[in-house]
Structure 1
Amino acid sequence: MSLLSSDPAAFPADPPTDTHDPVAIAAHDWAAFSALDEMTDHWSRPGWSDGSRAYYWMLTFPDDQGLAALAGYCQAELAPLGLDPVPTDGLHTTLARVGTPDVVTPGQLDSLARGAEALLPSAFFVRAMPLAGSRGAVRLSLGPWEPLLLLHHALAKAGSDAGLVPKKPTSAFRPHLSLAYNNRRRPAAPVVEAASSLRTLPAVELSVSLVQLVELRREGRTYHWDVRKSVPLR
């Protein structure tokens, strides 16, 4: 049974037909991005103002020089657009929102991490492929999706078991890795055109052997976080 379904709030709204094929996933992401007429301001999302904090499950890649080089090159090429680039030490893939510090207790975080450790799948590799985007960002496609979906599903189960029901189900999860956030409403065509010229760059293979539970905070037009729990995949 597929873990995905159509969701108008997700991007792309419809999932790819094959979650195992990175090439098909990248093409599907590009088709959705290139069909946009307008891009929105990433920073105007309700409930996520400057200074906001929340706990998230994330994948981070602080030591991956290949990813850093790819991101840096793409960001330099996109610089004339005036997007907000993600710092090299801030490159990440958001998996699932857990809750806010005023609601989630330290004991619940401990319970969540223990539960997740027992449920996580085996370590795996994914390809980060240039380049596509969403309504509010330019981003790398990731593929295959299947191991990422299984990871998300395990984290969602751990959250439910700990009394922290995920905000979004796995069916609405669309794996990606953002490189630059759009900071105003604008026609999408110039951004799509700039991204198009970078799509022939080679993909980077990423190792996923650890998932981190972080306290994410917004500082101006960037994100920072503190790691609360690191849980290894089997």
Structure 2
Amino acid sequence: MGTPYSSTFPATPPADPDDPASVAQHDQAAFEQIERMLCHWDRPHRRSYHWMITLDQDPRAIELSQRCQAVLPGDSLDLIPPESLHLTIRRLGYVDDVPSDKLDTAVATVNEHCQGTTPFQLHLLPLAGSPGALRLSVAPWSPLLSLHRAVSAASGYEEAEPLTLYRPHVGVAYSSRVQAPAPFITATREAQSLPPAEIAISELRLVELHRTDHQYRWQVLERLSFAGETMP
């Protein structure tokens, strides 16, 4: 019986979502239990609006992703290029389902939240995976969960606490076929000797996302800065 493809992976959250060691260990333990890698692209796709933290201009994130990619097996993966590096908060909706007035209202509501949000630091931790990808773990989750709640409410979603469905991560490569996980598990263990990266997060972006040639591409529609005061 194959491994079902789910965006909620691992199925359960780590014991301490704000502790880098707890998150990394939990992610790796879950990855080492999968039965097989799946093809990331064997899913329907429609052009969509997404709330994202884009990392295409962050040199520390780019450097770590490339160092991790260098230890991965050379075939059956689609490496994520620097210009596509990102951390998804959540999908707002599909382009053909979201009228312009709903989009404008969501942006205004989320911008109000961002005005009260303080810029924060994130640890990017090498390396773990899911059935469809290899990815960096991230911590702390608290500021990301807060953003998830805000964009969910602005989009009219009525859902449970984000910890039941949201697993923050930064992808570095997508699995391009169904395959055995053992070589990738070995590679993730090797990558864990790399030092993590600490990056500063100061804005949220709304993008229009599409998929082409086994990569995601986007157009930035809104840049919402975090304007909350930093504690001395």
TM-score clears 0.5: yes
C-alpha distance in 2 between matches for 1:117 and 1:97: 16
Structure 1 residue 81 displacement after superposition: 3.6
* AA of the residue aligned to 1:42: H
What residue in structure 2 maps to residue 5 of structure 1?
none
> Does the 8 Å CA contact 2:128/2:135 hold for their aligned counterparts?
yes
C-alpha distance in 2 between matches for 1:98 and 1:209: 20
- Say whether 1:131 aligns with 2:124: no
C-alpha distance in 2 between matches for 1:110 and 1:35: 43
Give the TM-score normalised by the residue count of structure 1: 0.89
- Say whether 1:116 aligns with 2:110: yes
- Cα separation, partners in 2 of 1:208 and 1:118, compared to 1, 3 Å: same
What residue in structure 2 maps to residue 74 of structure 1?
68
Between stretches 73-82 and 203-212, larger displacement belongs to: 73-82
What residue in structure 1 maps to residue 37 of structure 2?
39
Percent of residue pairs identical: 37
Between stretches 175-184 and 72-81, larger displacement belongs to: 72-81
Cα deviation digits, residues 61-86 of structure 1 (max 9, x gap): 12211111111122122142431001
What residue in structure 2 maps to residue 59 of structure 1?
53
What residue in structure 2 maps to residue 155 of structure 1?
151
- Cα separation, partners in 2 of 1:55 and 1:167, compared to 1, 3 Å: farther
C-alpha distance in 1 between matches for 2:153 and 2:97: 19
C-alpha distance in 1 between matches for 2:110 and 2:150: 7
C-alpha distance in 1 between matches for 2:197 and 2:167: 19
- Say whether 1:106 aligns with 2:92: no
Structure 1 residue 187 displacement after superposition: 1.0
What residue in structure 2 maps to residue 87 of structure 1?
81
What residue in structure 2 maps to residue 140 of structure 1?
136
Structure 1 residue 124 displacement after superposition: 0.8
SS in 2 for 1:155: helix
Structure 1 residue 201 displacement after superposition: 0.5
What residue in structure 2 maps to residue 219 of structure 1?
212
Runs of 4+ in 1 over 3 A off after TM superposition: 166-169
* AA of the residue aligned to 1:98: L
**Paired residues for 1:181-200 under 5 Å:** 181-200=174-193
C-alpha distance in 1 between matches for 2:172 and 2:160: 22
> Does the 8 Å CA contact 2:122/2:140 hold for their aligned counterparts?
yes
SS in 1 for 2:170: strand
What residue in structure 2 maps to residue 4 of structure 1?
none
* AA of the residue aligned to 1:15: P
State how many pairs are aligned.
Answer: 219
> Does the 8 Å CA contact 2:92/2:151 hold for their aligned counterparts?
no
Runs (5+) with no aligned partner, structure 1: 1-7
C-alpha distance in 2 between matches for 1:221 and 1:167: 31
Q: CA RMSD in A?
A: 1.7
> Does the 8 Å CA contact 1:55/1:213 hold for their aligned counterparts?
yes
